Amino acid sequence: MSKKPRHLIKSIYTADPRAHVYEGKLYIFPSHDIESGVPQDDLGSHFDMKDYHVYSMEDPDGQVVDHGVALDIKNVPWAVKQMWSNDVACKDGKYYMYFPAKDEKGIFHIGVAVADKAEGPYKPMPEPMKGSFSIDISTFQEDDGTHYAYWGGIWGGQLQRYKTGKYEDNDDMRKPEEPAICAKVAKLSDDMLEFGEEPRDVVILDAYGEPLKTEDENRRFFEAPWMHKFNGKYYFSYSTGNTHLLCYAEGDNPYGPFTYKGVIMTPVVGWTTHHSIVEYKGKWYLFHHDSKVSGGKTWLRSMKVIDLNIREDGTIETVDGNADE
């Protein structure tokens, strides 16, 4: 594949692609954008997605298979609206889909649904994960088989409502000079249905070992956390949100702290940027999205893939988010 990006699906709108290698194939788990008719606002109310499709491919240049609807909000007893970015982990031949949605009080929680195949269909648990909150959950499997969850998003993702460790109906951010709000990480339980421990902060440090500040909007975490491993190092990547960058930080273990290293991708067409990074058949790929197919409508996005160059020294070559196909 060339360095040019490729839109994977144009028949429907898909965003926030989380990619994994299962059963020798690439499986992609995106959200499904629709014209909801909800007015646009800074909290993302217009992103009112209602189901998930699952896609697979055996070659990043080849055919993309749409396996259809894997989970619909009408089958999730506790969920009312806004099924945002999801991810899927595999353990002992079972597949576990983790997804955020709002309950009847308008509060985001994270649900789990289980399937016998990566493409589903997925059967949801009747209640969300205990103690779950916010959005954009992703999963990472360590070499010893331990599974970790990373999650969080500020503004519409409500992470700022947990500044004190418990929910408060308060969307104020921390002061500009204070440490930035962090993504969260926790091991998953043995049965993959709950957090196996209390969530911890994913702390990102600057080159001097100090936590990034709230005012550092070009580097601090906003949403879309992802973890991958390269040459024994752990790479935490994420979106800066309102500055529209994908950035990465490096650490020595899945919990961090992580030291900021640079920009993975410059801004795309559309407000959001959200991604995953995966190795497949000896090459690294960046899955992401933009709004080019919809003519720039930020709530109607289309997922893409492009080669990612991770250099021998572990640094990542920056991708032009606005490159032509």
- For the stretch 155-189, pLDDT in tens is 999 999 999 889 999 999 999 999 999 999 999 99
The mean of the pLDDT values for the chain is: 96
Catalytic residue among 16, 48, 136, 250: 16
Question: Does the residue 127 lie in any domain?
Answer: yes
State pTM to two decimals: 0.97
Number of domains in the chain: 1
Catalytic residue among 33, 223, 250, 290: 223
| pLDDT of res. 165 | 87
Residues 6+ apart with CB under 8 A from 241: 153, 154, 155, 217, 222, 223
| pLDDT of res. 1 | 38
pLDDT band at 214 (very low <50, low <70, confident <90, very high): very high
**68-108 pLDDT tens trace:** 999 999 999 999 999 999 999 999 999 999 999 999 999 99
Verify whether residue 142 is a known catalytic residue: no
| pLDDT of res. 325 | 81
- Report, in this order, helix, strand and coil percent for the chain, each rounded to 5: 5, 40, 55
Question: Does the residue 320 lie in any domain?
Answer: no
| pLDDT of res. 29 | 98
Question: Tokens standing for 186?
Answer: 């926790």
Please say if the pLDDT value at position 2 is more than 80: no
Verify whether residue 16 is a known catalytic residue: yes
Question: Does the residue 321 lie in any domain?
Answer: no
Question: Does the residue 314 lie in any domain?
Answer: no
- Domain hosting residue 22, numbered range: 6-307
| pLDDT of res. 244 | 98
Question: Does the residue 119 lie in any domain?
Answer: yes
Cis peptide before 121 (omega within 30 of 0): yes
Do 322 and 268 touch, CB atoms closer than 8 A?
A: yes
Question: Does the residue 324 lie in any domain?
Answer: no
| pLDDT of res. 111 | 98
Please say if the pLDDT value at position 220 is more than 70: yes
Strands 204-205, 258-265: pairing is parallel
pLDDT above 70 coverage of the chain, percent: 99
**12-53 pLDDT tens trace:** 999 999 999 999 999 999 999 999 999 988 889 999 999 999
Please say if the pLDDT value at position 296 is more than 90: yes
Question: Does the residue 325 lie in any domain?
Answer: no
Specify the higher pLDDT residue, 250 or 43. Answer: 250
- Residue 287 sits in a domain whose CATH number is 2.115.10.20
